[in-house]
Amino acid sequence: RTTNNSRVDSFQSLFSQMLDRSTIPGFKSVLAVAMFAQASVFMLQRGPAVVTAFSLATTFSTKSAVAASRSASSYGVRHAFSPRTSAASMKLQMSSVLEEGVDLKEKVVVEHPAYEVIEKDFIEEYGAAATLYRHKKSGAELLSVSTDDDNKVFGVTFRTPPEDSTGVPHILEHSVLCGSRKYTTKDPFVQLLAGSLQTFLNAFTYPDRTCYVVASQNDKDFYNLISVYADAVFHPRAISDPMVHAQEGWHLELENKEDPLIYKGVVFNEMKGVYSSPDSLLNRESQRSLYPDTTYGVDSGGDPRVIPDLSFEQFAEFHKKFYHPTNSRIYFSGDDDVLARLEIMDSYLDEFDFSPESKPGSVIEWQKKKYTEPRKEVHPYPIGEDQPETHMININWLLNDEPLSSYDEVTVGILDHLLMGTSSSILRKTLMESGYGEAITGGGLSDELLQATFSIGMKGVMPDDVPKLEKLVIDTLEKVVKEGFEADAIAASMNTIEFSLREFNTGSYPKGLSFMLGAMTKWLYDQSPTEALKFEKPLAELKEKIAESGSKPFQDMVQKLFIENLHRSTIEMKPSKTYESELLKEEEDRLKSIKDSMADSEIEKVIETTQKLKELQAAEDSPEDRATIPALEIGDLKREVTEYPLEETKNENDTGITVIRHEFGSTSGIAYVNLAVDLSSLAVEDIPLLPLMTRMMMETGAGEYDQVALSRRIGTYTGGLSTTTLTTAVHPEGSSQNAIMDGNHLQSKLLVRGKATSDNVGELFDLMKTVLTEAKFDSKSRVVEMLKETKAGMEAGIGAGGHQAINTRMKARYRVGGYIDEAMTGIAQLDTVRELLEQTENDWPSLLARLENMRSTILNENTCRDGMILDITGDKTVLENVQPSVDKFLNDLPGQSDGEKRPNFYVEEHPWIAPIKKLMSELVPIADEGFVLPTQVSYVGKSGLLYDEGEESNGSAQVVSKFLKTGYLWDHVRVMGGAYGGFCTYSPFSGFFSYLSYRDPNLAKTIDIYDAAGDAVIAAAEQMKNDPDMLSQAIIGTIGEMDGSLGPDMKGFVAFQRWLVNESPETRQRLRDQIIDTKAEDFEAFGKRLNNLKEASCAVVSSQTGFEAAEKAGKKFTLKTIV
- Positions annotated as catalytic residues are 173, 248
Least Cα distance to 228 among 263, 261, 193 occurs for 193
In 667-717 the beta strands, taken as DSSP E runs, fall at 670-678
d(CA 1068, CA 643) in angstroms, rounded, equals 9
**Alpha-carbon dihedral angle through residues 308, 311, 314, 319, given to the nearest 10 degrees:** 80
List the alpha helices (DSSP H) in 896-955: 913-923
Backbone phi and psi for residue 367, each to the nearest 5 degrees, phi listed first: -90, 115
Q: Are strands 23-24 and 152-159 parallel, antiparallel or unpaired?
A: unpaired
d(CA 987, CA 968) in angstroms, rounded, equals 19
For residue 407, the tally of other CB atoms under 10 A from its CB is 17
Side-chain half-sphere of 858: how many Cα atoms within 13 Å? 25
Residue 185: helix, strand or coil by DSSP?
coil
d(CA 448, CA 429) in angstroms, rounded, equals 25
Q: What is the DSSP letter of 200?
A: E
What is the residue type of 360? P
Distance of CA 836 to CAs 426, 839, 857, 1084, Å?
27, 5, 20, 49
Consecutive H or E run containing 720: strand 720-729
For residue 302, the tally of other CB atoms under 10 A from its CB is 33
Lay out the sheet containing 746-757: strands in order across: 647-649, 658-664, 869-875, 670-678, 746-757, 720-729
> In whole angstroms, how large is the CA radius of gyration of the chain?
28
List the alpha helices (DSSP H) in 978-1012: 1004-1011
- HEC-encoded secondary structure of 834-858: HHHHHHHHHCHHHHHHHHHHHHHHH
Q: Is 845 exposed, middle or buried (0-12, 13-18, 19+ CB in 10 A)?
A: exposed
- 574 contacts 377 by C-beta, under 8 angstroms: no
In 430-471 the beta strands, taken as DSSP E runs, fall at 439-446, 453-461
List the alpha helices (DSSP H) in 331-456: 338-349, 406-420, 426-434
- 195 contacts 218 by C-beta, under 8 angstroms: no
- HEC-encoded secondary structure of 735-755: CCCCECCCCCCEEEEEEEEEE
d(CA 226, CA 248) in angstroms, rounded, equals 23
List the alpha helices (DSSP H) in 109-241: 168-175, 188-195, 219-234
Strand partners, 721: 754
d(CA 335, CA 314) in angstroms, rounded, equals 41
d(CA 463, CA 973) in angstroms, rounded, equals 42
- 30 contacts 521 by C-beta, under 8 angstroms: yes
Distance of CA 217 to CAs 30, 68, 862, Å?
22, 25, 50
d(CA 1100, CA 1077) in angstroms, rounded, equals 36
